[in-house]
Amino acid sequence: MGTSHPHRYDHSFTQPYAKIEPIVRYIQKHYREAISVAEVAKHFGLSTRQLDRRFQQVLKMCPHEFIMRLRIKSACEELRKTNASILEIALSLGFYDQSCFTLHFHRRMGITPLHYRKQDRLGEEEQKQAPIGI
């Protein structure tokens, strides 16, 4: 048999995130632009070191990694859902060129964007050709 206790909202749990929430929202709004960590820090009146420390403390990653993860996640979605070229996707996500995009994509996903797209399309074809189960 257990006991129940009244639930109290613990602000100490959300307080660290509250310190960076406006920054996270700003990055989520602007990650497709060629923004830099220095620009984000300046926008919020912080040094790049202060911004980095806050991100490390709360999200366990640096702001640059956060931006890159957003871009790669969006790239995966666009590679699956559109027929845009790799270059068009790269430029639309704030990368300077296709080779830079491919390098970052490969580091995080383990394959090139083209291979990712081909794998996804091949998977769709296999699903279309699979017999319907009884």
Q: Give domain status of residue 79, yes or no.
A: yes
Task: Give Cα 52 distance to the centre of its chain.
Answer: 17
Stated length of the chain: 134
For residue 46, which of 26, 66, 74, 75 has the smallest C-alpha distance?
Answer: 26
In a domain, 62, yes or no: yes
Structural domain contains residue 134: no
Confidence of residue 106 (pLDDT cuts 50, 70, 90): very high
What domain count does the chain have? Answer: 1
CATH number of the domain that residue 90 is part of: 1.10.10.60
Please tell me the least confidently modeled range out of 57-66, 97-106, 121-130: 121-130
Whether 113 is covered by a domain: the verdict is yes
Domain membership of residue 61 as a residue range: 12-129
Cβ burial, residue 60 (10 Å; 0-12/13-18/19+): exposed
CA-to-CA dists, residue 66 to 10, 31, 49, 58, 81, angstroms = 26, 9, 15, 12, 23
Backbone angles phi, psi at 76, to 5 degrees: -60, -45
Strand, coil or helix: 22: helix
2 assigned to some structural domain: no
In a domain, 5, yes or no: no
In a domain, 4, yes or no: no
With residue 133 as reference, give the H or E element that holds it. none
- In this predicted structure, the answer to whether residue 100 has a pLDDT above a threshold of 80 is yes
Query: pTM of the full predicted structure?
Result: 0.79
Is the residue at 106 inside a domain?
yes
- Mean pLDDT calculated for residue range 58-82: 96
9-65 pLDDT per residue, tens: 454 555 778 889 999 999 999 999 989 999 999 999 999 999 999 999 999 999 999
pLDDT of residue 133: 54
